Structure 1
Amino acid sequence: MTRTVDTTSTTPQSYERLRPAMRLWYLWWLSRSRRVASPRDEPSARSTATDADTVLIVGNGPAHGWGVRSHDQALVGQLSRASSAATGRACSVDYVGDEMMSIESTRSWIRDTDLGLYDTFVVLVGLNDAVRLTPLDTWEHELRQLVATLARRAHPTARTVLIGVPPVRSVKPFESLLGAVAETHAERMNAITELVAAETGASYFRLPAGLRRPDSPHGCVEGYRQWAQTIAHRIAPTLDSVRRVELDERLPRSLPERSFEWSGGATLVDNASRGGSEVLQQLAKEAEAEFGVDVAVVSMLDGSKLWYANNTELLPVSIPRELTFCDVTVAEDDVVVVEDARKDERFADNPYLDLNHGYFYAGHPIHSSTGETIGTFCLHDIRPRKSSSVSPEKLRAFALRAEAELQSYEKSVAGPVASLGQGALPGAGPAQPATRRERREAEARAALHA
């Protein structure tokens, strides 16, 4: 039977009056973190062994990887290696989440993940909820819903591990008086998490304060290695117990590789990991100056996710499609302007807005060469604005330039070009350009040669 924590734990405290200020403080920190290193590569560390243990990290904060450039250096890669050392078996680790994921949006982030493929779930959420002083009743309700979702969709042998919020002030940006407020709130959140774990059969423990280096105050390889070793030794018995079940219950897991419905998706995401193509970066700068907005960005909607093509040092690599304005733009295949999302019934309860405060939005659809709506060119601003502040004609002009760039990423379906491609073997026939852009360039070279 479900029960809640005692009333002394959940009764609002005087410090919770600071909630509006704390949320603005967190937003201010996010805006200043634009130049802080964080992973933009694929969030997985895969073993080639067919019988490898499989672990899914669901999280933000320490799981996100602030301070390092790749997930191999962050918790994902470190846990894969630490788990293998602890169990003597290969281990594949995937990660779902982002710094911009809150407890209220976590179920949206895992919605399209095949949870039946994992032996253990490591849930490490709550740091930004502690800083933003998420109400404790909201924390408890959403955490219970998350644990129930994992149990319902997981393989019967899978186990869940809940990790408490680490000391907030051990994170450099929150080493302040406001950080002390957040740490007080985190302690109360952790008490609830421990209770939920006890009632649902999940494991619970807390991480120590993370290591920091003077040249990498937001996070470092050594700190993620320490955390990974702590987690690995706590989950090793869990992974061992999964192995002890009958073989026909624990079948080998084959974790899926990332794929895209639109043929240019892989190129777009690869470019985005380095900030986006020069064309899209320049378009964004021009649009931000033209319209006076905080952020201009090109998005691609693929399956249940939205992927950002530029400005990824400020925005997540991807977010659940259901949390985005762009989903509406693509569905309507027309210009969409949201003057103030807080007053728009389509977005008023969107938990993603609670983190980024991007209340104004204007988006124009972008199409593939075959006419499918694949994404948007859009504007975001934290200040509400009138729709008249954005000229639809000017927005369309930017969208068409972005559309031409994205269409150049598409796989070429035309026949061979007239000249031998670079690197082709003599006698092997002309090389086939991989994308429409490469085909145009090859045709131009052939014309010059002729």
Structure 2
Amino acid sequence: MSSFADALRRPHQKRLYRRIMSGPLLLTRPSDATRAHASGVNPDRVLLFGNGVANGWGARTQTQALPGELAQALTERTGRGTDVDVVAGVDWTIENAAEVIAGRDLTGYDAIILLIGVSDAFQLLPEQRWTAGLVQVLSELLKRTSPSTGITVMGIQPISTIGVFDTEPGGLADRWAERLNQVSWQVCEGRARVHYVDPPAANLIREPVSQAGAEATSLDHFHSWAFVQAAHLAPYLDAQSGVEHPARVSRNTSQSRQRRLDALWKTHLLEGPPEPRFDAIVRRAQQVFGADGAAFTVIDANRQFNKAVAGFDITEVPLERSFCKTTITTSQPFVVGDAETDTRLIEHETGELGARFYAGYPVEAPDGTRIGALCVFGGQPRDPDSVDIVALRDFALAIQDELALTVAGRTHEESRDPSIPFAEGRPASPRSSVSV
């Protein structure tokens, strides 16, 4: 600690923090899919990990919160699509974050942004413990990511900018956040692929106090965070946008059959009748592409099951006649201009639908497993270059968002419980002092 007086204040800060967080916190936080997207081809994939602003306090959807703002800001700078996932927990600290990361497959991300430390700074965590925790987190991230993945450590914002804490600007908590940021910069310096970035200026990130407060309608602080992050990340992502870079190679590698079946089982898509929400998306895709047919398909153990269809009424296709089984082997679109001449399909039958033209985009379960595809097709050949890949991806993402809402609905109580931040089979973080 910086002084004996500060050491005496630390127990008081911890008690105050627990009292604040155990009281009626009136802010909302996103309850939809833990991801956001921006339209475009060759999408970059970014993970936001941590707490504080990553939790999206005050926003109802991830599109309104930091993931949505960051996705749009990056796409505006790169001209490519962007997928931003968020993994955040209100009870995470620098000392338990490494345990949350352990066991997760992070190899497919082009960049990871670490946002953590608000509660640590407010509770005046000693810098030796902060250093040890940060070193452990970075070691885990470096171990679990691809050699091309950039890791950004965002500085802790001034605690006085977070309305719920009601602290004085420049007070003890603000000074301690600044001190931990200095330590973070020193830890990041010299580590390959790791960069420290200061938070936005304090006057740009004042967060709402409560839903009833005057500031509750303003979500501008998410835009400010996204602007700083995008300015830092965009040049790095541009340099890593080639298909040969390890992160992209990783996410374009075939996933195991068992992983797909496990993820598919959790979605419950093989149960029940057709669902209007999927039917509407598929019908719209058929109309936009002027296709003979369109479908949302999932690949089971030995068949292609058409969960939603437009233009035909076949619900199952044997795998040997499935274009979609090829689509799910990578995270990229699969377009066949003419099935009769495409050399990739020498042994492929055109199937019961007699399709010669096909365009499909993989659909992922909430955990990132490719379980099926959104596809359009027709009996006449088409020029593959005429296919609007951006629109095709947007329809696939619309399906993914609906799937995420399904899983979130089934785990409603868990997702509302801060001690269980992951849905369906994901490990909760260890309990400790609560964070925001």
TM-score (norm 2): 0.57
Question: 2: distance between equivalents of 1:135 and 1:115?
Answer: 30
The equivalences for 1:202-281 within 5 A come to 202-207=194-199, 208-209=201-202, 210-212=205-207, 215=213, 217=215, 220-243=218-241, 246=244, 250-251=248-249, 253=251, 259=263
Equivalent residue of 1:354, what SS? coil
Q: Is contact 2:89–2:418 with CA below 8 Å preserved after alignment?
A: no
CA drift of 1:109 comes to 2.0
Whether the 8 Å contact between 1:78 and 1:225 is mirrored in structure 2 is yes
**How far 1:318 moved relative to its partner?**
2.1
State the distance in 2 between where 1:229 and 1:220 align: 16
Deviation at 1:105, TM superposition (A): 1.4
Query: Is 1:15 the equivalent of 2:6?
Result: yes
User: Helix, strand or coil: the match of 1:200?
Assistant: coil
Distance 1:219 1:130 in 2: 27
Residue 199 of structure 1 and its aligned partner are, at CA, apart by 2.6
Which one-letter code corresponds to 1:156 in the other structure?
Answer: P
Partner of 1:98: 89
| Correspondence for 1:71 among 57, 62, 67 | 62
| Alpha carbons 2:17, 2:123 under 8 Å: kept | yes
**Aligned partners of 1:111 and 1:265: how far apart in 2?**
29
CA contact (8 A) 1:120 1:160 kept: yes
Equivalent in 355, 361, 371 of residue 434 of structure 2: 355
2:35 aligned with 1:44: yes
Once residues 8 and 217 of structure 2 are traced to their aligned partners in structure 1, the CA distance between those partners, rounded to angstroms, is: 30
Deviations 1:64-86 (CA, angstroms, capped at 9, x unpaired) = 11111111111011101111011
Q: State the distance in 1 between where 2:3 and 2:244 align.
A: 48
Deviations 1:228-275 (A, max 9, x none): 1121011111112212684677437369999486677999xxxxxxxx
Provide the rounded CA distance (Å) in 1 between the counterparts of 2:3 and 2:241: 44
Letter in 1 for 2:66: L
In the alignment, what sits opposite 1:189? 180
Q: Does 1:153 align with 2:153?
A: no
What is the identity, as a one-letter code, of the residue corresponding to 1:78? E
Of the candidates 123, 130, 139, which is equivalent to residue 121 of structure 2? 130
Deviates most, 195-204 or 308-317: 308-317
8 Å contact kept, 1:160–1:203: yes
Return the alpha-carbon distance in structure 2 between the equivalents of residues 27 and 266 of structure 1: 45
- Paired amino acid for 1:223: H
Looking at structure 2, the residues matched to 60 and 248 of structure 1 have their Cα atoms a distance apart, in angstroms, of: 28
Task: Give the Cα separation in 1 of the matches to 2:172 and 2:98.
Answer: 27
SS at match of 2:157: coil
What one-letter code is carried by the residue in structure 1 that aligns with 2:190?
A: E
Deviation of 1:218 (Å) = 6.1
Letter of the aligned partner of 1:71 in structure 2?
Q
Gapped regions of structure 1 (runs ≥ 5): 1-9, 268-301, 325-349, 357-450
Instruction: Note the alpha carbon deviations across 1:191-230, whole angstroms, 9 max, x for none.
Output: 1100111131322121222045684636842221121112
Instruction: Choose the corresponding residue for 1:83, options 74, 79, 99.
Output: 74
Query: Equivalents in 2 of 1:15, 1:64: separation in Å?
Result: 29
Task: State the AA in 2 paired with 1:206.
Answer: D
**Cα–Cα, structure 1 residues 232 and 310, in superposed 2: closer, same or farther, change >3 Å?**
same
1:57 aligns to what SS in structure 2?
Answer: strand
Partners of 2:47 and 2:111 within 8 A in 1: yes
CA shift in 2, pair 1:266/1:246, >3 Å: closer
For 1:161, what is the secondary structure of its paired residue?
strand
Q: Is the 8 A contact 2:106 2:146 kept in 1?
A: yes
Residue 129 of structure 2 is aligned to residue 118 of structure 1:
no
Contact 1:55 1:118 in 2 (8 A): yes
Q: Count matched residues.
A: 286
Question: Structure 1 pair 157/216, CA: closer, same or farther in 2 (3 Å)?
Answer: farther
Specify the code of the residue in structure 2 equivalent to 1:138: R
Equivalent residue of 1:27, what SS? helix
Q: Note closer, same or farther for the CA distance 1:219–1:165 as it changes in structure 2 (3 Å cut).
A: farther
Q: CA deviation at 1:137?
A: 0.9
Distance 1:181 1:217 in 2: 24
**CA offset digits 1:367-396 (Å, max 9, x no partner):** xxxxxxxxxxxxxxxxxxxxxxxxxxxxxx
Secondary structure in structure 2 of the residue aligned to 1:54: strand
Helix, strand or coil: the match of 2:107?
helix
Q: Would you say the 8 A contact 1:66–1:218 is kept in 2?
A: no
Match of 1:385 in 2: none
Q: Following the alignment from structure 2 to structure 1, what is the Cα–Cα distance between the partners of residues 247 and 22?
A: 47
* Structure of higher RCO (CA pairs closer than 8 Å, 6+ residues apart): 2
Q: C-alpha displacement at 1:169, in angstroms?
A: 0.3
8 Å Cα contact 1:211/1:220 also seen in 2: no
1:128 CA drift (Å): 1.0
Equivalences for 1:297-308 in 2 at 5 Å? none
- 1:276-287 pair list within 5 angstroms: none
Q: How does 1:329-348 map to 2 (within 5 A)?
A: none
Shift in Å, 1:175: 2.9
Please tell me the residue identity of whatever aligns with 2:432: L
For 2:51 and 2:270, locate their aligned partners in 1 and report how far apart those are by CA, in whole Å.
25
Q: Give the match for residue 294 of structure 2.
A: none
Tell me, in whole angstroms, the C-alpha distance in 2 between the residues paired with 1:65 and 1:251.
31
Q: CA deviation at 1:89?
A: 1.1
Please give the alpha-carbon distance, in whole angstroms, between the structure 1 residues aligned to 2:75 and 2:3: 44
Query: Quick one: distance in 2 between partners of 1:137 and 1:308?
Result: 38
Query: Are 2:418 and 1:315 aligned?
Result: yes
Report the CA distance shift for 1:157/1:18 in structure 2 as closer, same or farther (over 3 A).
same
User: Which of the numbers 133, 150, 154 marks the counterpart of 1:142?
Assistant: 133
